[in-house]
Structure 1
Amino acid sequence: MYKILLVDDEQEIRFGLKNYFPWNNLGFDVIHDCENGKKALEFMKENLVDVVLTDIRMPVMDGIDLARELKEKEIPIQIIFLSGYKDFHYAQNAIKYGVRDYIVKPGKYEEIEEVFTVLKKDLDKEWHKVKMNPSESNSYTENITLTIKKYTKEHYADVTLEDLSQLLKMSPNYISTFFKEKTGMNFSTYLTEIRMKKAADLLVDYHYKTYEISDLLGYNSPKSFTRTFKKYYGVTPREYRNQRTVLFDPK
């Protein structure tokens, strides 16, 4: 299901669209609704959204300003305007800020269905392209994922979500949610995987004691490191080292 954020200052419009239109049948889910662009941006700092269905004229921050903010931040979210104002000026701004389509209120069932059916097909194509040709994708979301992985591999001993938050200018909670959504694993699981692979490499080198490896990987105690290593590989660091010795002993 692709996630929709509904933005409109009229509560009745939000309630009606959220509860009486069969979004699930089209492959979408309205995960949240809010009354202006400012609250929409605040929500998107912490949550992943695929589509914003927004009114144009709203207090505090209107749909045009919301679209401009998303465009300037290069956030790859599909934007569709929902408004009762047939105004060429607004339509021009919609195009300039990358707004995909424009639905006139109150929004006929057939029109909404047509717009979102086409959108679903395009989103499916984009995801298929990323999955089939990840090396050729230079998308915003792919860049974020690669940045998180690269930084984690380089700073595995002390990396935190707060560090990544400063690097990417996103909240730690959003990064955690984003990473799980795009990779299928929690960030903590990925970090453990990186540390355990590094631990296995270091254990082959007899210059390092187990407690030294534990410290290099950023664990608070050798006991914590040993427990994590055994859970990951099924043996303790010492047992792993002994197995490698037997395996590669030239005798």
Structure 2
Amino acid sequence: MTRILIADDEYFVREGLISGIQWERYGFEVVGQAENGKQALEKIKELKPDILITDIKMPVMNGLELIREVRSLGLQTAIVILTCYSDFEYAKQAIKYGVHEYILKLSAQPEEILSVLNNVKEKYLTGGNNNKSGGNRLASFDAIDFKEYDKLWPGYVVVFKHVDTQMKYDAELIDGFSKIFSECKNEIFNCKHGYIAFINCQSESFVKALCSKLCNNISFRIFIGISELCSQPGKAGEMIEQAETAAGHYFYETGQNIFLHSCIKYEYVKFKNDEAQVLSSLEGFDEKALLEYSEEMFNQIKGVKPSYYISYCIEFLFLLVRYFRKNDITILPEYSNLDLLFKHFTRFTSMSEVKKEVIGIIKQLLNEFRMNSSQYSLVVARIKKIVDERYQAELKLEDIAGELNMNYSYLSNIFNRELGQSFKEYVNEVRVNFAKEFLKQGMENIYLVSEKVGYTNPYYFNKVFKKLTGMTPGEYRNKYTRI
């Protein structure tokens, strides 16, 4: 097995890489992960991976510093960097430290990642081409995307995203672009979800006006993102990312088609799911509480980058998925792991679609939960078990709520709703049932029976017993010992 270590400060990037590929099937093993360069360096020293996959921009110690440290220690670990368009200048620096390959972070698919890693494995780990620079691929990326188009700067980068991918629409878009943008020098390239264009023009309003004219002259809807002014070739990668970010703002369904990066301000929200609240609602089959929680989450995260919005929603759903897996409850395959959830949500392009899907998944998971559970919710079943096992001790629902990390009032309500009686009434019922068994066995001392089933006051025990059976403990014992 070829051993891999993954370093990236984004949790979902690491988890996506780890869970998105059946590594062992292809001869690889992920032996560790790290959220910053310093942590990665320690794990490299300890685990001795064959390949390091590392992000460039990380806290504490960035990717370049990590690569430099690995090489200064004389370690022969092959290095693959995760890069974005805006990281390209850093990527060129990384060549000096013996980087072997790169993976484009925003668009790489599992088969592309495996292709890169197999190439590294073949060339650098099994005695193939031992050239450690790995620079050819990066150089060609540089030449294709930037250097050939220096003549177009200063100018703007424009991204055109289309919802429908039919070829006839592509042809119509290119034809319309060629006619309308002929007033400016330009180049246009096909990309994964549409087109990227470099426009030689210094007026943002003029570029926007041309884009508006294009929208009015084609028969289908597109979303357009316009970068800020790019004045030098070295900034081209950053401008592409700006235009991509701007075009992605259609997620919030503002009614617009054209988005200027200079006008977009995303909120920074550090949202953390309340796992205890989510799981207590799940265990109580409380669909209303889960939907109210999700609506509160939607309100808190509105305004963040679309990718973050989706990540927060997936993190919330994955709390439920993890709980199901922990309790061996079968769920639909497309929700069974983090990578599949991410793939599932790539089909949705707007906030309303994402919200609708999250709510739909909550309802589906709850339905699966009900079908796989007993007549009582798991939380009520756990309380019943605690009472059955500890009936001899002092029992308070407040204490059990604390033990289960749940709200007392909420716990009391669902217990009453499912059993049709209060917690205190249920405890008395359990204790009296045990007392009846002891009395049938001929225990003479009523005080000892009272104490044995958890009552410290024999007079109160006598009162409760008579209320539930219609007889005093003595009368009950005499009735059954005479038989």
Task: With the length of structure 1 as denominator, give the TM-score of the two structures.
Answer: 0.54
Instruction: Rate the CA distance shift 1:94–1:215 in 2: closer, same or farther, 3 A.
Output: same
Letter in 2 for 1:64: F
Is residue 178 of structure 1 aligned with residue 414 of structure 2?
Answer: yes
Measure, in 1, the Cα distance between the counterparts of 2:407 and 2:366.
27
Amino acid corresponding to residue 380 of structure 2 in structure 1: T
Residues of 2 paired with 1:89 and 1:145: CA distance? 36
Check 1:145–1:210 CA distance in 2 against 1; reply closer, same or farther (3 A cut). Answer: same
Distance change in 2, residues 1:210/1:168 (3 Å) = same
Q: How far, CA to CA, are the matches of 2:404 and 2:309 in structure 1?
A: 32
Q: Deviations over 1:85-113 (max 9, x none)?
A: 672322223223328999x89x8xxx9xx
Q: Displacement, 1:230? A: 0.9
Aligned residue type for 1:70: E
4+ residue segments displaced more than 6 Å: 99-102, 114-117
1:74/1:162 CA distance change after superposition, 3 Å: closer
Change over 3 Å in CA distance of 1:97–1:71 after alignment to 2: farther
1:32-71 equivalent positions in 2, closer than 5 A: 64-65=271-272, 67=273, 69-70=274-275
Distance 1:92 1:163, change over 3 A: closer
Partner of 1:148 in structure 2? 383
Q: Secondary structure at the match of 1:90?
A: helix
Could you tell me which residue of structure 2 aligns to residue 93 of structure 1?
312
- Aligned: 1:165 with 2:384: no
**Helix, strand or coil: the match of 1:175?**
helix
Gaps of at least 5 residues in structure 2 are 1-266, 283-289, 321-344
Distance 2:418 2:369 in 1: 11
Which structure 1 residue ranges, 5 or more long, are not aligned?
1-56
- Aligned mates of 1:171, 1:117 — CA distance in 2: 24
Give the counterpart letter for 2:442 in structure 1.
Y
Question: What letter matches 1:134 in structure 2?
Answer: S
The correspondence for 1:196, drawn from 432, 441, 452, is 432
1:222 is matched with which residue?
458
Displacement of 1:209: 1.0
2:479 is matched by which residue type in structure 1?
A: Q
1:98 aligned counterpart, secondary structure: helix
| Structure 1 pair 232–206 and aligned structure 2 pair: CA distance change class (3 A) | same
Q: 1:121 to 1:243 in 2, by over 3 A?
A: same
User: Match for residue 125 of structure 1?
Assistant: 367
Q: Distance in 2 between matches of 1:202 and 1:115?
A: 56
Relative contact order, CA 8 A, sep 6+: which one is greater?
1
- Measured in 2, the distance between the counterparts of 1:87 and 1:71 equals 26
Q: Distance in 2 between matches of 1:235 and 1:167?
A: 36
Secondary structure at the residue paired with 2:317? coil
- With over 3 angstroms needed to count, the CA separation of the structure-2 counterparts of 1:88 and 1:173, relative to structure 1, is same
8 Å CA contact retained: 1:162, 1:172:
yes
Conserved 8 A contact 2:439-2:473: yes
Alignment-derived partner of residue 211 in structure 1 = 447
The residue number in structure 2 matching 1:4 is none
> Quick one: distance in 1 between partners of 2:460 and 2:468?
12
RMSD between superposed Cα atoms in Å? 4.1
- Aligned residues of 1:196 and 1:229 also touching (Cα < 8 A): yes
Helix, strand or coil: the match of 1:64?
coil
* Offset of residue 229 of structure 1: 0.7
Change in Cα spacing, 1:175 to 1:74, as seen in structure 2 (3 Å) is closer
Deviates more, 1:77-86 or 1:210-219: 77-86
Partners of 1:152 and 1:159 within 8 A in 2: yes
Is residue 134 of structure 1 aligned with residue 374 of structure 2?
A: yes
**For residues 232 and 169 of structure 1, what CA distance do their matches in structure 2 show?**
32
Shift of 1:204: 1.2
Distance 2:441 2:414 in 1: 36
Q: 1:242 to 1:164 in 2, by over 3 A?
A: same
C-alpha displacement of 1:231: 0.7
Partner of 1:237: 473
**8 Å contact from structure 1 (residues 71, 98) kept in 2:** no
Rg (Cα) greater in structure? 2
